[in-house]
Amino acid sequence: MKKNETKLLLSRAVNKIGNVMYDYGNSTWIAAMGGVGQKYLGYYQLAENIISLILNPIGGAVADRFKRRKILLATDFIGGVMCAVLAMIGNDHIMLYGLIAVNAVLAMLHAFSGTSFKSYVVTIVEEERRVAFNSRLEVISQVISISSPLLAFLYVDRFGLKPTLLLDSATFFSSFLFLFLIREEEQHVSVNAKKTDVRTILQDIKEGLIFVVREKEIFFLLVIAALVNFFIAAFNYLAPFSNQLFGDPSSYATLLSMGAAGSILGAILANKLFKNSYNSILIALALCGVGLIVISVFAALHMPVIVIVSGNLIFEFFLTIFNIHFFSMVQKKVPNHMLGRVFSSIFTVAVIFMPLSTAIMTAVPASVNIYTFTVIGCGILAVSACGAKAVLERKCGSYFRDGNSGSNARE
């Protein structure tokens, strides 16, 4: 592996460690506050979802018009400073509001860094090496997702929230350092060297959305993903309450680790178990719902925590398979100079219903219940069934054949 590729991988690795530690420490600290925690955890997640929804399109357009490395450096530096400042707060009441505010700022930064990183890979990694690079990146990411929750559990339990925030700050600055050491000229900026202002940014966003809508395969799956993400947002809200729901202080950490294990297995077996077709993808999505239903069933039977959270392994296993096949379609069809805005358009549409889901979970106290996992799972099953029905009804029609893209369903 080339030096710049290694530096880029290391940057993402330490950044991922910080993200997992940050979310785990903050979520468990807020959730432990009881009824008040349920309300403020909703605010914490809702702010993140709304900001992502608004800023993702802008972040993608900016990534296509400016140097992506500089965007990544700026976001890492600001994130490191924000976490360090937050760790200095001594009052729990102020800390609560500070966590929500900083999480909102980090969501803003991620709207720019997320699409910038995905697009920056094209500059650093040669085309014939990208599949291998993305495979390494996925494995590293998921290994960290397995180990970091347990590490976070031990670290937060031993040292508390403030040292965790200082560690988060250190990961941001470490990521900054690895990126700073990369020296590679970005060519896409000269391609888009025309004047950049609000009007051109809005035009870029429009172009990205038009491209997504015209690609029938991508748009169909994007609608399905947006509906499913409504239920996934509910699961994301419910998960930090696992310690209370399952009666074990390590439940949330174990749940996250099992999910990460499922993601690794899904990444390894995606091409072996499923073809890149609508039917296969929708079956994988339906099995995601089954995994969440399993959590409720095992919890109701008072099974050991490790058995209960195995449902999340099933859920993440099949969700990873869905995501891999979905983004494989995107990568094949999108020109390099449009990657940023198209990715951001996809991310925006995919999360459009997530704030509504989080708001509902926050407003209904009874939502924090072991049987809510079943409701969420059944919702995902219903969306998958509707998608399969649509495929069957339109398989022989013009839906997949006409349009400017000329795309065909691969069945």
Which DSSP string corresponds to 38-80? HHHHHHHHHHHHHHHHHHHHHHHHHHHHS-HHHHHHHHHHHHH
Average pLDDT for 132-157? 74
pLDDT at res. 218: 74
| CATH number assigned to the domain covering 204-406 | 1.20.1250.20
φ, ψ of residue 64 in degrees (nearest 5): -85, -15
At residue 246 the predicted structure's pLDDT band, cuts being 50, 70 and 90, is very high
The domain 1-182 having CATH identifier 3.20.20.140: the answer here is: no
- Give the pLDDT confidence score for residue 131 in this predicted structure: 62
pLDDT band at residue 161 under the 50/70/90 scheme: confident
Report field, pTM of the whole predicted structure over 0.75: no
Report phi then psi at 85, rounded to 5. Answer: -65, -40
Question: Which amino acid is it at 50?
Answer: I
- List the single range of 164-173, 244-253, 297-306, 349-358 with lowest mean pLDDT: 349-358
Given a cut of 80, whether residue 42 has pLDDT beyond it is: no
**Over 70: is that where the pLDDT of 408 sits?**
no
Residue 336 has a pLDDT of: 64
Share above pLDDT 70 across residues of the chain, in percent, rounded to a whole number: 85
Helices (H), 274-309: 278-300, 305-308
What is the structure's pLDDT at 400? 47
The mean of the pLDDT values for the chain is 80
Residue 176 reports pLDDT greater than 80 = yes
Distance, CA of 117 to CA of 137 (rounded, Å): 12
Residue 96: is its pLDDT beyond 60? yes
Confidence of residue 225 (pLDDT cuts 50, 70, 90): confident
- Residue 371, pLDDT > 90, answer yes
CA dihedral 381, 382, 384, 390 (to 10 degrees): 160
Mean predicted confidence (pLDDT) in 158-164: 82
Using CA atoms, how far apart are residues 256 and 49, in angstroms rounded to an integer? Answer: 20
What pLDDT does residue 404 have? 46
Q: What is the pLDDT of residues 57-73, one digit of tens each?
A: 787 777 777 788 889 99
Q: Tell me what pLDDT residue 399 has.
A: 46
Would you state the pLDDT for residue 405?
Answer: 43
pLDDT at 122: 74
pLDDT at 191 over 70: no
In the chain, CATH 1.20.1250.20 covers 1-182, 204-406
> What value does the mean pLDDT take over residues 193-212?
73
Q: HSE of 188 in the Cβ direction (CA atoms, 13 Å)?
A: 22
Task: Quote the pLDDT of residue 169.
Answer: 92
